[in-house]
Homo-oligomer: A and B are copies of this chain.
Amino acid sequence: MARGKRRANKNTARPSRAVNYSQLTHPFIPQSVLTEDAVAGVHDAALRVLEELGIKILLPEAREIFVRSGALVDDDTQMVRIGRDLVAAALSTAPRSFTYKGADPVRDQDYALGSLIFAPGGGCPNVTDSIRGRRAGSAETFIETTKLQQSFDVIHILGPSAEPQDIPVHERHLFMMQQQCMLSDKPVSQASRGRAQIQDGFEVLRLARGLDEDAFGENVWAKTIINTNSPRMIDNPMAEGIIDFARAGQLSIITPFCLAGAMAPITVAGALTLQHAETLAGITLAQMTCAGAPVSYGGFSSNVDMKSGSPAFGTPEHVKLMIGTGQMARHVGMPWRGAAGSAGVVADMQSAGENHMALWGAMQANATLVLHAAGWLEGGLTFGYEKFINDVEALQVLAELAHPIPQTDDDIGFDAIAAAEPGGHFFDNPHTMSRFQTAFYDPLNADLNNHGGFVAAGARDATMRATDIWQERLRDFQAPTICEPVKDRTQVFIDRRIQEGGATVVG
């Protein structure tokens, strides 16, 4: 409601163009980099990795769950070998779709193969913008970036972005969950940094959403990203995250970060094999913990730059790995997350190009959830405000592509063509007049003026215009309405937990 009003105010000269960027499905046929034989080969090799080589699971509780379900566990070496029958059993109970819920049902996302969900650049320790420069993330920038994420419908879930490093770590998780719930009505995210923090986050979320434990468990309200320690290891906080999210009916997204040539084989096919093995291990642990728990296949593989050793994004290898990840996820029938993002340090042609390449990789791959889709610079070390705005433009263009074009006989337009003189124009054609106010995408940051108009407007490039936009959005921001008792009871809980000493960080 508040959003609709702001949009109308901004464009008083013409009726606002109705768009639906909130719930999207993929418009394109998924593409392939692996042959069907190679898909089967990668799947089989991954099962052999789990069965013959095993995966190191540091958390005793997780090893016990594996033992109880029939895996072969060596507590001395912490190695767990998982038979392919156990993997198959897990895949048979893992749900293929579920609703990932926001505070407002218009924000709900259908998490399933075929859905297209965009998440902003997440987990960044630093932020940068043209006014204040590059600096450590803080409470202020966490609030700002959450507001910006709330401000654009095409950002479907919250990051969270811009880690608030000025808040002590033992209470930071409380602040992050509180701000997500108070500033936004979109589905929230939570880090897995130990059991106590996870449970705190769940409680803040329940209080803010007005849910008891049962109602909370009936739907997915929070997700966490589980990064395996590639190759072939899952550490304590990650295993605890899988277990606790499964028990609470919340979503864990199993995502090896397989940098080809570093923590994974250097070949695309080999990195996919290791990633597939580790993802299946995580999915299996979730299902062994609680059959039917929501869990997602995940991939975030790219290559390392052989000169600098830095992770690369938007490269051919990144795109190929994403398309291959989609093939492997579809092979086991699971919805999955991919990731876009940029290696570039500043808001320039490089970082724009890298994210566009990676976003199109996600489109080719039919990724269910595209993480780091806006604002992610330096391979995630920094959240860029201007970059975020320009990336939102890219997401809006992709969202437009997700909707079918009108193609009735009237749209095909023989009569409209007949009504235009040879060498004439269509400006005053009734076919045009009835559609011109809403026919085309209305750019957010792009300036379509010619050179003269561009210079007359101060020769402000895309970065300068993006600065105007994020400043304007923060100035005009209106949080969703949340009633006072909800705010109060959430605050009371948080105050109490801080008084109790908060929660130790693990991992």
Q: Which residues of A contact B (CB under 8 A)?
A: 27-29, 31, 33-35, 38, 41-42, 45, 48-49, 52-53, 55-56, 79, 134, 229, 231-233, 260-270, 273-274, 277, 303-308, 310, 312, 314-317, 319-320, 324, 343-354, 356-357, 360, 363-364, 378-379, 381-382, 386-387, 390, 393-394, 397, 400-401, 404-407, 409, 411-414, 416-418, 420-427, 429, 431-432, 435-437, 439-441, 443, 445-451, 453-454, 459, 461-463, 466
Cβ contact within 8 Å between A432 and B265: yes
| A422-B55 CB under 8 A given contacts A29-B29, A267-B413, A405-B268 | yes
Cβ contact within 8 Å between B34 and A407: yes
A31: B residues at CB distance < 8 A? 27-29
Cβ contact within 8 Å between A261 and B405: no
A52: B residues at CB distance < 8 A? 418
Besides A52-B418, A269-B407, A350-B352, 6 other A-B contacts (C-beta < 8 A): A33-B404, A267-B405, A346-B459, A349-B445, A353-B353, A378-B450
8 nearest A-B pairs in the assembled complex, by CB-CB distance: A270-B413, A316-B400, A356-B356, A56-B422, A305-B448, A350-B462, A349-B352, A349-B462
A343: B residues at CB distance < 8 A? 446, 448
A266: B residues at CB distance < 8 A? 426, 429, 431-432, 435-436, 439
Cβ contact within 8 Å between B381 and A425: no
Cβ contact within 8 Å between B303 and A439: yes
| Alpha-carbon distance between A181 and B257 when the two chains are bound, in angstroms | 50
Instruction: Identify which of B56, B273, B354, B462 contacts A412 (C-beta below 8 A).
Output: B273
| A431-B270 CB under 8 A given contacts A42-B412, A416-B265, A448-B310 | yes
| Alpha-carbon distance between A53 and B418 when the two chains are bound, in angstroms | 7
Cβ contact within 8 Å between B414 and A48: yes
A397: B residues at CB distance < 8 A? 314-316, 319, 357
From residue A338, how far is it (CB to closest CB) to chain B in Å? Answer: 16
| A417-B273 CB under 8 A given contacts A79-B422, A264-B426, A348-B461 | yes
Cβ contact within 8 Å between A231 and B270: no
Residue of B nearest to A423 (CB): B233
| A273-B406 CB under 8 A given contacts A397-B316, A423-B231 | no
| Alpha-carbon distance between A34 and B349 when the two chains are bound, in angstroms | 32
From residue A294, how far is it (CB to closest CB) to chain B in Å? Answer: 27
| A347-B349 CB under 8 A given contacts A79-B422, A231-B420, A264-B426 | yes
